[in-house]
Chain A
Amino acid sequence: MNALEIANASFGYGAEAALTGINFELKVGESLALIGPNGSGKSTLLKGILGFAALTEGAIRVLGQSPKKARALCGYLPQANTRDTDVPVTTRQVVTMGLFAELGAFKPLGAKTKIRVEQALFRVGLTEQAGELFSELSGGQQQRAILARALVSDPKLVLLDEPFNGLDQPNRDELLETIKTLRSSGTSVVVSTHDLDLAREVCSHVLLLNKKQIGFGEVNKVLTLDLITETFAGATVELDHHTVTTTDELE
């Protein structure tokens, strides 16, 4: 069974497609970096995998099921601006939210549930901050807490939307380690990022996007100067310690 099977798909909101021509397969245990400039459709694809963005054309199977059915098997780290820090919840309470679908309305938090929450906190290095208010954590710690919430239900597929944005080096390193551990445990990971070096470090495959699929394949085969230039048309990017100015910008 593949983690993702997407065939000639377009995704969008309403009738209009924001992303077209998506066509790839990702095996269980492989990890995929979604790379493209702002507005290229990275978040749209992640939302399409979750069934939040409409499939306007083509077909998609997530872990062998429809996106809506597979949602419970996915862990999702949304972009950092979706949380309301006025709500006074502790880091532990945030992680526990990842088990609410299993627990339902009334089932109490038993010993096993509590152990799972503590394990998820440990995986992201937040054991000491478990009792602190989420709003009082640093930006990087908040991202890791939300990642722990995504991991606590032991998902088969983890989707991370720009998880490295605004992170300092220690938090970035912690997050990288967590993703590497996930990979080694056989969990499939899809991560959107602007950072090509990060893609190389933690991912087996790359999908280049700019409102359509520019390229897909193993990291070293796809991160070529030509494809990067096409993907980031109109922008300047760092590639192998060289600054590349794309053709649109020169024009």
Chain B
Amino acid sequence: MTYFDNALLEVLLLGLLSGVAGFVVLLRKRAFFTVALSHATFPGGVIAALLGFSVLAGSAIFALLLIAIMTGLSRVSQQGKQVASGLVLTFGFALGALIQSMNPASPIPVDALLIGSLLSVSTADVLALAVVLVVSLGILLMISRRLVYSSFDPEGYRSSGFKPWLVDAAALTIIAAAVVVAMPAVGAILGVAIIVGPAITARMLVRNVMLIAPVAALFGITAGLAGLYASKAFDIAAGGAVGLAVAVIFAAVALGRQLAIRLKAGKGGDGSH
């Protein structure tokens, strides 16, 4: 496969994963957690690159560590999940920058770690993404009923005899795995755009919770393809182009929805006179 075939497959799989992971992020209200996690896994990648290991593996190990730290911090009295995410975000990002600055001679691809390098993804990166997609989809199918119920009414969910930790653990696993495998293509900073953006765009359009994931996947694939081909046509950074495409689709849907609401209100007003 050529580098472009790899990139093409990567954005297609990433688009599908954005439907799965974005749906989970949206229902669990974990957007800030995802931002924090994506930024804070940066030192994991830096350390792995310095030691000559797989950047993906380094990021994955760091993601697990960070989730443990965030879970611990969120249990500290009068703090909560947002504070824990904020702390971990700054800690992780600062640590990555510090380690990188202490090794100026090392060939760490800092830009690639932060904003990705879609046209440089390897077959191994694509395979890792495919495995995470299949596993995440399987987990989502198993927990989708519970995920929706517990997100809608946690107290009612518990009273039905379900244990909240199971859905929490499954949701964290899906989010963390998505953040890690998105890194080679769109980096620590832009990863959150492709994971969260399509889902929040889909949420604006659909009135049925079960349609959010497929519609988000459609937007994710569209943004990925648009970014990739724009990158090729105009010789611009592919990660940035994908991130921008996500934002443009979001803005277009938000604007279209607003116009539709105004038109509907206008028609309703005309009818009443």
Contact = CB atoms under 8 A, between A and B. Distances in A.
- To the question of whether A and B form a pair in one complex, the answer is yes
Interface of A: 50, 52, 71-72, 74, 76, 78, 82-84, 86-90, 93-94, 97-98, 100-101, 103, 105-106, 133-134, 146, 149
A90 B159 contact: no
B154 interface: yes
B162 interface: yes
A116 to B, nearest CB: 15
B253 interface: no
A50 B203 CA distance: 34
Contacts of B207: 88, 133
B151 to A, nearest CB: 5
Nearest to B154: A82
Contacts of A78: 153, 155-156, 159
Interface residues of B, number: 28
Contact of A83 (B27, B145, B152): B152
Interface string B144-166: 11101101111111111110000
Contacts of B29: 84, 86
Contact of A101 (B153, B162, B203, B212): B162
A74 B208 contact: no
Contacts of B155: 78, 82
B59 to A, nearest CB: 30
Nearest to B145: A100
Contacts of B248: none
Closest 7 CB pairs of A and B: A76-B159, A82-B155, A78-B155, A87-B152, A97-B149, A71-B161, A83-B153
A76 B207 CA distance: 27
Nearest to A46: B159
B226 interface: no
B162 A52 contact: no
B159 A50 contact: yes
B209 interface: yes
B142 interface: yes
A100 B146 contact: yes
B156 A97 contact: yes
B interface, over-half SS: helix
Contacts of A133: 207
A86 B27 CA distance: 9
Nearest to A75: B159
Given A82-B156, A86-B29, A146-B156, 4 more contacts: A87-B152, A88-B209, A100-B162, A134-B152
Nearest to B211: A88
7 contacts: A72-B160, A78-B153, A83-B156, A86-B29, A87-B209, A101-B161, A105-B145
B156 A72 contact: no
A84 B152 contact: yes
A133 B208 CA distance: 8
B206 interface: yes
Interface string B121-147: 000000000000000000001111110
Contacts of B161: 71-72, 101
B203 A88 contact: yes
Contact of B145 (A86, A90, A103): A103
B148 A87 contact: yes
B93 to A, nearest CB: 29
A87 B155 CA distance: 15
Contacts of A84: 29, 151-153
Contact of A100 (B149, B208, B209, B212): B149
Contacts of B142: 105-106
